A and B are shown apart, each in its own frame.
Chain A
């Protein structure tokens, strides 16, 4: 089976940097997604890591270490609009399945 762990809640200050961790146990997967979800809205794609290492995309970066079963999402220059839930998801089952963590609710305050 697969198990994905993320912190339930985090808080951070506007303009700061925050790192959201995701650890997982799985027998195999194709890649790891990060999605952003504002309350009551649909998840939206942030990043996808297939290989180990850091993927940078503007203010957001995502890191994957397959050997350590670990990923993180790094958000820089935080803005109030970054207050949302961040979902870590494994892409598995021959690309047919997304297994989601429960999500981390990030609150950005002034």
Chain B
């Protein structure tokens, strides 16, 4: 089955520093990757959609300069939270979609999530 690895699973940083989260599709090539933010007991909030080799499309209200997304290859996307502040503390989850025409191609596979705590 499709597997998505997300790293790190947990990170604590000081206010003002930048944090990078990686999302890798391990056994398939992901044409599209998505980044979500989730607050406790709430549903997923889509932050941005990234296609390999092109700029990410951000959802309304998400700061592009704050949350830098790079999708340099078909198996790797990164989210960098720049100049992090305590209000950026949250659970960040990536997902990947294979695309194409095979069965299940449009189904999303999620990473395990990354819990960011900004002190």
- The answer to whether A and B belong to the same complex is no
* Chain B residues at the A interface, C-beta cutoff of 8 Å: none
* Chain A residues at the B interface, C-beta cutoff of 8 Å: none
